[in-house]
Amino acid sequence: MGAKIDYHMNHPEDSYTINAAAVGAMMLLDLYEHVGDDGLRQRATKILDHVASAQTDVGGWPYRLPADASHLSMDSHHNGFVIEAFQRYREVVDGDRFADTLEDALTFYREELFELDGAPNFDESSAYPRDIHASTQGMLVFTREGDLEMVERLLRWVLANLQVRDGQFYYRQYRHHTKRVTLMRWCQAWMSYAVSEFLLAAAERDPDGRETATPFT
């Protein structure tokens, strides 16, 4: 059922990467919203039908199918990419088609891939390394859900654990040390994007800024 995207980098051609399919579908949805070509919507729907059919019983997705072909399990930021694609479909096309898929995915994402204090888990069985990209993608997902309290929790954890004094952000926190490198795309760009989306959503919710407190106020 559905369609696949043929995405192969440095792994055998008898496996494929799930989040790449979801991100490809999201690109088609963006184009559909812009130009209105129904063929783009149909292609995105077919791809997401296939991605939805690959969802595990616990609500998440392995990095690749078959799962044993992957070096990763159900890791945080790649699951976030998949969820965001279904959120985008809900926003642009139809809120019902993938409602159950999205509900199960968000429950797994929230309960298994983040701690109560906002720390990101690496995957469903490992807390470390705690990757800044997992935090930023979580901020984007929960901003789309309108759960700004959860976003603020994630952001506060990043500011307390991965921020450099001059405003840069470190890459990863391991159990006994932090990898003190900062990367323009992986750390800086994604934090800028995630924080911007959060602040815009907070401003829309409370235009006068009287009720919505943020870690920056």
pLDDT in tens, 44-102: 999 999 999 999 999 999 999 988 888 899 999 999 999 999 999 999 999 999 999 99
CA dist 121 → 113, 116, 213 (Å): 5, 11, 26
pLDDT at 211: 58
User: Rounded to two decimals, what is the model's pTM?
Assistant: 0.91
pLDDT at 200: 97
Phi/psi at 105 (5° precision): -65, -45
In tens, the pLDDT along 54-63 reads 999 999 999 9
CA dist 42 → 17, 109, 129 (Å): 21, 27, 38
pLDDT at 167: 82
Q: How far apart are CA 193 and CA 198, in angstroms?
A: 9
In tens, the pLDDT along 111-145 reads 999 999 999 999 999 999 999 999 999 999 999 99
* pLDDT band, residue 217 (cuts 50/70/90): low
pLDDT at 76: 98
